[in-house]
Amino acid sequence: MPPEDPTVLCGLTGVTPEPLGRIPVRSRGASFTSAAWRLAFSAREGTGAVVLVEAGPGEAYYRGEGIALGWPQERLEALYRGCLDTTGGDVLELPQFG
């Protein structure tokens, strides 16, 4: 039995994550802007992103973009965590100063 292809995630093939980034987000009814993590990816089926909004201690919401738009929370979380796992959790690019 061949080993499972690590680039197959949540039904998508050839998944390649891009660097993790911070983006501004605003919730309905909120009077402030906060930040969220955005993990863009490409796959053979198309491109998309998963945005992780940490609303409070132990409270996280995922939002899909592109081909992940409309996916349920559980599938978005699995894709987000799977993309981090394929890179060893090291997809964050920090700017170099000096």
The residue-averaged pLDDT of 14-25 equals: 92
Judged against a pLDDT cut of 90, whether residue 40 lies above it is answered with yes
Contacts of the segment 83-91: beta carbons below 8 A, 24+ positions apart: 83/9, 83/15, 83/17, 83/39, 83/41, 83/50, 84/17, 84/20, 84/39, 85/6, 86/6, 86/7, 86/9, 86/15, 86/17, 87/17, 91/17, 91/18, 91/19, 91/20, 91/39
More confident residue, 29 or 50: 50
Query: What is the pLDDT, as a whole number, of residue 11?
Result: 87
Is 1 a residue whose pLDDT tops 50? no
Single-letter code of the amino acid located at 43: A
Is the pLDDT higher at 96 or at 49?
49
Q: The whole model's pTM is what?
A: 0.77
